[in-house]
């Protein structure tokens, strides 16, 4: 299983899923997207074609076959664009978790998307005080502002992981995940697909992303976690781990 992380995190955000699945006999691999975590921090290349090509190089380098691709949030775009751009000969399944696919912002006539001025505000907040902006983002990300119980340690880990990222990459990725249209990519997905989304997601709205993606991907299964926030890989880790194991075993 190959895991693509969300913004502005890194591969460490998958530790609960990787430990659970590896303990049950599966090989699990997570990578730091270019500009994030321990990857290099180039000035350019923060677009989904490049992200998909990076994944292709990794898969070819490790000679991975029969891969289940798992993408969370902006990482859902990475893995979807990989299939659309490089095909599914090495892929057996796809999982999209709280993903920005098929379209996040109000672009290309998609009026139901999030207004682009929201993302302009995010970029402005990052440029003014990245650390505080990300710290303030945590309660909405994990739903603690709506009753989810999240430890101080989780918030500290999230901030620490986020601040390992390139400043330039963190800002540029806001444009990438808000303005990239994946609707054509959805039509090219030809492997069994599981879409999981939280109904309480305050970051990536269920109705215009997860639900819409499941409609566009042929034969996709949609699971909605009632009341779950965007960061359900942490808040609903046990439920997610069981669903991932059941899916790869199916």
Give the pLDDT confidence of 178-193 residue by residue, as tens digits: 999 999 999 999 999 9
Give the pLDDT confidence of 1-31 residue by residue, as tens digits: 999 999 999 999 999 999 999 999 999 999 9
User: What is the Cα 79 distance to its own chain's centre?
Assistant: 9
**Dihedral sign computed on CA atoms, order 44, 46, 50, 55:** positive
Q: What is residue 118's predicted lDDT score, i.e. its pLDDT?
A: 97
Q: Residue 120: CB partners within 8 Å, gap ≥ 6? A: none
Q: Is 73 a catalytic residue?
A: yes
Q: Is 201 a catalytic residue?
A: yes
Instruction: Write b or e for each residue in 58-69: b if 16 or more Cβ atoms lie within 10 A of its Cβ, otherwise e.
Output: ebeeeebeebbb
Q: In what order do the strands lie in the sheet with 67-72?
A: 29-31, 2-4, 67-72, 91-97, 193-198, 221-225
Q: What is residue 162's predicted lDDT score, i.e. its pLDDT?
A: 98
Average pLDDT over residues 61-69: 98
Give the pLDDT confidence of 90-117 residue by residue, as tens digits: 999 999 999 999 999 999 999 999 999 9
Q: What is residue 18's predicted lDDT score, i.e. its pLDDT?
A: 98
Q: What are the structural domain ranges in the chain?
A: 2-249
Paired tokens of 9? 């995190």
Confidence of residue 246 (pLDDT cuts 50, 70, 90): very high
SS3 13: helix
What are the counts of helices (DSSP H) followed by strands (DSSP E) for the chain?
A: 10, 6
Q: What is residue 71's predicted lDDT score, i.e. its pLDDT?
A: 98
Average pLDDT over residues 190-216: 98
Residue whose tokens read 């808040």: 235
Confidence of residue 248 (pLDDT cuts 50, 70, 90): very high
Respond yes or no on whether the N-terminal peptide bond of residue 8 is cis (omega within 30° of 0). Answer: yes
The one catalytic residue in 73, 80, 144, 166 is: 73
Average pLDDT over residues 221-228: 98
What's the mean per-residue pLDDT of the chain? 98
Topology adopted by domain 2-249? Rossmann fold (3.40.50)
User: CA 157 → CA 13, 163, 192, distances in Å?
Assistant: 9, 10, 33
Give the pLDDT confidence of 140-199 residue by residue, as tens digits: 999 999 999 999 999 999 999 999 999 999 999 999 999 999 999 999 999 999 999 999
Residue 117: Cβ-neighbour burial (10 angstroms; 0-12, 13-18, 19+):
exposed
The one catalytic residue in 78, 185, 201, 243 is: 201
Q: What is residue 21's predicted lDDT score, i.e. its pLDDT?
A: 98
pTM: 0.97
Q: What is residue 128's predicted lDDT score, i.e. its pLDDT?
A: 98
């Amino acid at each position: 299983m190959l895991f693509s992380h969300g913004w502005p995190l890194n591969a460490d955000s998958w530790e609960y899923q990787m430990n659970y699945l590896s303990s049950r006999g599966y090989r699990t691999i997570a990578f730091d997207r270019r500009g994030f975590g321990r990857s290099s921090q180039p000035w350019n290349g923060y677009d989904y074609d490049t992200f998909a090509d990076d994944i292709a190089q990794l898969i070819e380098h490790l000679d991975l076959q029969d891969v289940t691709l798992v993408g969370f949030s902006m990482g859902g775009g990475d893995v979807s664009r990989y299939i659309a751009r490089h095909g599914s000969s090495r892929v057996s399944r796809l999982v999209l978790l709280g993903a920005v696919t098929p379209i996040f912002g109000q672009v290309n006539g998609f009026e139901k998307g999030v207004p682009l001025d929201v993302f302009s505000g995010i970029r402005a907040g990052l440029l003014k005080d990245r650390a505080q902006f990300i710290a303030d983002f945590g309660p909405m990300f994990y739903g603690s502002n709506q009753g989810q119980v999240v430890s101080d340690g989780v918030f500290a880990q999230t901030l620490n992981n986020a601040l390992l990222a390139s400043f330039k990459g963190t800002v540029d990725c806001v444009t990438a995940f808000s303005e990239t249209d994946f609707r054509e990519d959805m039509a090219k997905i030809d492997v069994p697909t599981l879409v999981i989304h939280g109904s309480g997601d305050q970051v990536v709205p269920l109705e215009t992303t997860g639900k819409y993606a499941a409609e566009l991907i042929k034969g996709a299964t949609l699971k909605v976690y009632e009341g779950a926030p965007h960061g359900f890989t942490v808040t609903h880790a046990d439920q997610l781990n069981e669903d991932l194991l059941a899916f790869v075993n199916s």
